[in-house]
Amino acid sequence: MEEKNVVLSKEGNIAVITINRPKALNALNTETLLELNNVIEAVELDDEVYAVILTGAGEKAFVAGADISEMKNMTVVEGRKFGKLGNKVFRRIENLEKPVIAALNGFTLGGGCELAMSCDIRIASTKAKFGQPEAGLGITPGFGGTQRMARLVGMGMAKELIFTGKMIDANEALRIGLVNSVFEPEKLMEEARALANSIALNAPIAVRLCKSAINRGIQCDIDTALMYETEVFGECFATEDQKEGMTAFVERRAKNFKNR
Ligand code: DAK
């Protein structure tokens, strides 16, 4: 299957995934979600990829939501199927054994905001706008928005954004913790690459285990979470990269991690 709505490129140990439907402001239709699923699978299987950047094509949008034209006439069964597909792809990104940075270059609305929230780190351009406008379309957020938004920015702020459907700008998104940092549009990808490269310099297995410990731990009580942390900490000592990292420190030389 030829990937046309989603483009994958590799730059050293970094994969850049671009949602590529600029005429529809990169809205997510079934075809795009299926392509994104394929691309995520390819990245998952590629041992040379240590970090991923997800962005949108064009100057206006990251993703302006799920595709309203496609959803308009959906039956209950089709709606459920569509929701299931989106949730599967987004959960796959959340669970991907590599860090994913969302570089938010414009409208990040509805399913687009939900896609961004399934990534590990969000950085935005000053032009980005955020919102969950679903209630104004007669639906609820269906790709995890009601759950991930509250976990990220707290229940009060999540409820205000979701109940009103209002749009906020990048600085407000920064203030409430929806994004980590904001850059001028022309600097966004450069900053995303710098961030991805600084992560990729660390031991990939350790980064993967950190992601897993944070994601799993946040869902459970502190004792279970700390038990899980202890488990992954122990696991590091079975890796060559732990030996390399610590030996390089003691020998005062540069590290050379091998992802083993
Ligand atoms: N879907 C389809 N097409 C879209 C789109 C979208 N979400 N957003 C924009 N477009 C298309 C426009 O129709 C237009 O196409 P043409 O008319 O040129 O063919 C083109 O992109 C450019 O858009 P505009 O002409 O409207 O551009 P403006 O600069 O004037 O306005 C805008 C930009 C972002 C403010 C506006 O386009 C807009 O309000 N877009 C819709 C934003 C939105 O409401 N997004 C949320 C979508 S709902 C679920 C699964 C999923 C979901 C829910 C439930 N289950 C199955 C349970 C998720 C829902 C959503 O994401």
- Coil vs helix vs strand at 131: strand
What is the average per-residue pLDDT within 134-160?
96
- The predicted model scores a pTM of 0.96
Closest CA to 4 of 37, 41, 42, 31: 31
Q: What is the pLDDT of residue 3?
A: 53
Copy the structure tokens of residue 172: 């407000």
What is the average per-residue pLDDT within 16-26?
98
Whether 1 has a pLDDT exceeding 50, the answer reads no
* Residue 74 in contact with ligand 1 by CB distance below 6 A: no
Q: Candidates 28, 63, 68: which one to mutate for ligand 1, based on the most atoms within 8 Å of Cβ?
A: 68
For residue range 63-98, list pLDDT tens digits in order.
999 999 999 999 999 999 999 999 999 999 999 999
Task: Output the CA 176–ligand 1 centroid distance in Å.
Answer: 24
What is the average per-residue pLDDT within 165-171?
98
Q: What is the pLDDT of residue 243?
A: 97
In percent, the amount of the chain with pLDDT more than 70 equals 99
What is the average per-residue pLDDT within 25-51?
97
Residue that is written with structure tokens 């064009």 in the block: 58
Whether 110 has a pLDDT exceeding 70, the answer reads yes
* Residue 110 in contact with ligand 1 by CB distance below 6 A: yes
What count of other Cβ atoms lies within 10 Å of the Cβ of residue 10?
A: 13
* Residue 90 in contact with ligand 1 by CB distance below 6 A: no
> Which domains can be identified in the chain, with CATH numbers?
6-200 (3.90.226.10), 204-251 (1.10.12.10)
For residue range 196-233, list pLDDT tens digits in order.
999 999 999 999 999 999 999 999 999 999 999 999 99
For residue range 186-197, list pLDDT tens digits in order.
999 999 999 999
* DSSP secondary structure, 211-222, as one string: HHHHHHHTTS-H
Whether 53 has a pLDDT exceeding 50, the answer reads yes
Q: How far apart are CA 11 and CA 211, in angstroms?
A: 22
Whether 2 has a pLDDT exceeding 70, the answer reads no
